[in-house]
Chain A
Amino acid sequence: MADLVTAGIDVGTGAVKAAIVCSTGVAKTTVLGTHRERLLRRDPGRVAELAYERACQAAGLTRKDVAYVASTGDGDAVAFRDGHFYGMTTHARGATFLLPGARSVADLGALHARVMVIDEQSRVRASRMTSQCASGTGQFIENIARYLGIRLEDVGPLSRSATRAEVCSGICAVLAETDVINMVSRGIPLSEIIRGIHESIAQRLAKLLRMVRAAGPVVLTGGLAADVGLSAEIERALDEDGGPKIEVAAHPLSVQAGALGAALWSAHRLRRLQARGPDAGYLSTPT
């Protein structure tokens, strides 16, 4: 089979991720380059351009070298895409690529959390998403971090350094901000506050994972996968809830899982298209 170079662009609510892969069939797929560009209140369309450009640079390629570009997430922002895949489909694919034994995926983004149970072919067997209320998501952690003046990268280590957690009521993301202010005013150390927030988010996620009857190992994907404080709390919440043991794992490229998945599906799709002619009608079409 000929080598195929494909790209995936994952447009989230917090950042755009772009990944470029080269595949010769699933087994020999290599990642050529990735890039994550935070939106930071910029136009997603322009950030997508930028992220793609940077990923190409990282891969040492130009846009001409890429045979197929697929979007995922908020795909409408990607004007230059060739196709689109749904978010959970791509995260599942990305997760199995990063950790071939993955049986469940928890995608933790800026405004949503979703969990999936997958099979060895990365097919999604069951899934759940958090609902309309944004209590306890990445954006929430980001706001709190900004409010407290902590760098996002320091959030995880800070949480790990705490010896106890300050319980946070965790109903409304906005009111919780006030809770946090109250805590600071009471002189509670930041590390314990952050740990408390992690604990409450982790418990929600553990609940979601149990609801879909997740099995291990669970791969964390999305931006929050980089938060070691959260992943440790998730593992602990799962240990303590009395359910069957589940391992939790993250990969340095976890944040790119959606983009990788989209790139991988692109190769699959392209081969199908090449094999079947233009009328495949096979994968979901862009919406």
Chain B
Amino acid sequence: MKLPVAEASAVPVPGETAARGAGGGMPEGRAQGSPRVQKDVSMERQKAMLAGYFSELAHARETGLKVAYTFVPGNLTELIRAAGALGVYPEVNALQSAMRQKSDGYVREAERLGHNEDVCSYVKCDIGMLAAGNIGPTGEKLPPPDLLLLSYTGCFTFMKWFELLQKEYGCEIAMLHVPYQADGGITEDMRRYVAAQLRDEVIPKLEKVTGKKLDLDELSALLARSARAEDDLVWVLDSARNTPSPIDAYFGGVYYVGPIFTAFRGTLECEEYYQALRQEVAARLDRREGPIMPNGVLAEERFRLVVEGPPNWTHFRDFWRIFYDEGAVVVASTYTKVGGLYDDGFRHGRAEDPLLSLADYCLGCYTNRSLPARVDLLASYVRDFHADGFVINSLKSCNSFSVGQLVMMREVEKKTGVPGGFIETDLVDPRYYSQANIKNRIESYLQMIAQRKGRA
């Protein structure tokens, strides 16, 4: 799974980081010469949070804190924190590497080590980073894991990824099998199966590595704090129902979900971040202002789009630019639901028991939903957010997301009467991103949408 983002170190300013990595991508892929990137205030705040966290990790050895590596979708950060350990999220490291133009080298390194070009580039980026000394996004070394918490949620590759890491580190590994919502719902049986594994497998292993007994009350307190942040996040994402939308729910959205989908769940910092974010967006809404894009506040909202699928990270700003140049704002995206989906009213701590709350959260995340459920969600976004169109960014890396997207597109078209646009990129492998190609498609798509709108 892939996830959010505020670059922990410097935000890559086009031109500054445009120094070419060894042979990656099309040259015209780099945006040129825009002097300063505009940012939300909340983004600066997030940057500081991340920098602090990575520094905490770098010193985990000295401070005696244990480290658990785990995945973003349906992550168990509150549990890790309650056990007194720190979480590391290899997917986030991979996307950070991509934004700093390092992923190309890492992916190539992994391929040299025998990993196939066909498989997920997140895994390869991580393996490559490991081979290169496991230097995190802030330039500090990441601690090795004491526990690999394999939350097997919505992606098969997770399992292989941590098997590979375990071979590398030889540390403890805990498997949490989260059943798939094949029939579009969570059954009591699934919840109990997940909770039983938490109780019998995950918690004992966490306790073993930390040497401490888990405090369930502490866990409940953390979950309650998450719930408050979740409320604010939902408010922020819902603000895009307004015209013009005060946010971009995809390119901006990946920043908004950053803290809550990673290490900060359940912290006070996180709760405060979302309060502040909400205020910031509320203020923009009052001023009837559009979202802040890399090149400034969007002057005119010409198109409202829904996007399915993660973004490309190696050319994130160039990719965004294509939309910005055409006045296209993303009003809803599914990618900002990978860490957890709150649309059905789920909030942490509502279940009768904290372990069941965690189970509900794991079971509910976006990639754990069946294709028909994903179609319904997309169609409802198109309708409820008054979108003119929807775009699917299909990733070569990711079977979990990509398989079936073409069928989904047709089904959403049928349900909404709105044609979909389809583009193909990759997460962190710059070789699969072609600015010219993507631009051609998006422009053609938007010209078509404009024609349709013009007639209406």
Direct contact of A and B (CB under 8 A): yes
Q: What residues make up the interface of A, taking CB atoms closer than 8 Å to B?
A: 165-167, 169-171, 179, 182, 199-200, 203, 206-207, 210-211, 240-243
Distance between Cα atoms of A211 and B434 in the complex (Å): 27
Chain B nearest CB from A41 CB (Å) reads 31
Q: Which residues of A contact B109 (CB under 8 A)?
A: 241-242
Distance between Cα atoms of A165 and B111 in the complex (Å): 23
Task: Given contact pairs A182-B436, A207-B108, A240-B22, enumerate 11 new A-B contacts (beta carbons under 8 Å).
Answer: A166-B27, A167-B20, A167-B23, A169-B26, A171-B434, A203-B108, A207-B111, A207-B112, A211-B113, A241-B109, A242-B109
Q: Which residues of B contact A199 (CB under 8 A)?
A: 23
Also in contact, A211 and B112, with CB within 8 A (given A169-B431, A171-B432): yes
B114: interface (CB < 8 Å): yes
A167:B112 contact, CB within 8 angstroms: no
B431:A203 contact, CB within 8 angstroms: no
Q: Which residues of A contact B27 (CB under 8 A)?
A: 166-167
A171:B431 contact, CB within 8 angstroms: yes
Chain A nearest CB from B69 CB (Å) reads 24
Distance between Cα atoms of A106 and B157 in the complex (Å): 33
Also in contact, A241 and B112, with CB within 8 A (given A169-B434, A170-B431, A171-B432): yes
B24: interface (CB < 8 Å): yes
B294: interface (CB < 8 Å): no
B84: interface (CB < 8 Å): no
Q: Which residues of B contact A211 (CB under 8 A)?
A: 111-114
| Of A169, A241, A242, the contact of B25 (CB 8 Å cutoff) | A169
* Contacts between the two chains (Cβ within 8 Å), count: 40
Chain A nearest CB from B176 CB (Å) reads 33
Distance between Cα atoms of A243 and B112 in the complex (Å): 9
Chain B nearest CB from A132 CB (Å) reads 12
Q: What residues make up the interface of B, taking CB atoms closer than 8 Å to A?
A: 20, 22-27, 108-109, 111-114, 132, 431-432, 434, 436
B108:A241 contact, CB within 8 angstroms: yes
Chain A nearest CB from B132 CB (Å) reads 8
Q: Which residues of A contact B113 (CB under 8 A)?
A: 210-211
> B114: nearest residue on chain A (CB-CB)?
A211
| Of B20, B22, B114, B434, the contact of A203 (CB 8 Å cutoff) | B22
Counting chain B CB atoms within 10 Å of each CB, the highest count among A167, A171, A182, A240 belongs to A167
Distance between Cα atoms of A206 and B114 in the complex (Å): 12
Distance between Cα atoms of A277 and B439 in the complex (Å): 69
Counting chain B CB atoms within 10 Å of each CB, the highest count among A166, A169, A171, A182 belongs to A169
> B23: nearest residue on chain A (CB-CB)?
A167
Counting chain A CB atoms within 10 Å of each CB, the highest count among B25, B108, B112, B431 belongs to B112
> B435: nearest residue on chain A (CB-CB)?
A169
A-B contact pairs, 8 of them (CB 8 A): A199-B23, A203-B22, A203-B108, A210-B113, A211-B111, A240-B22, A241-B108, A242-B132
Distance between Cα atoms of A165 and B23 in the complex (Å): 9
B25:A167 contact, CB within 8 angstroms: yes
Q: Which residues of B contact A171 (CB under 8 A)?
A: 431-432, 434
Also in contact, A210 and B112, with CB within 8 A (given A169-B431, A170-B431): yes
Chain A nearest CB from B394 CB (Å) reads 15
Distance between Cα atoms of A167 and B19 in the complex (Å): 12
> A128: nearest residue on chain B (CB-CB)?
B114
Distance between Cα atoms of A171 and B20 in the complex (Å): 18
> A182: nearest residue on chain B (CB-CB)?
B436
Distance between Cα atoms of A243 and B27 in the complex (Å): 27
Distance between Cα atoms of A210 and B108 in the complex (Å): 11
> B21: nearest residue on chain A (CB-CB)?
A167
A179:B26 contact, CB within 8 angstroms: yes
Distance between Cα atoms of A199 and B20 in the complex (Å): 14
Q: Which residues of A contact B108 (CB under 8 A)?
A: 203, 207, 241
Distance between Cα atoms of A242 and B113 in the complex (Å): 12
Distance between Cα atoms of A240 and B111 in the complex (Å): 15
Chain B nearest CB from A164 CB (Å) reads 10
> A213: nearest residue on chain B (CB-CB)?
B114
Q: Which residues of B contact A182 (CB under 8 A)?
A: 436
Q: Which residues of A contact B26 (CB under 8 A)?
A: 167, 169, 179
Q: Which residues of A contact B114 (CB under 8 A)?
A: 211
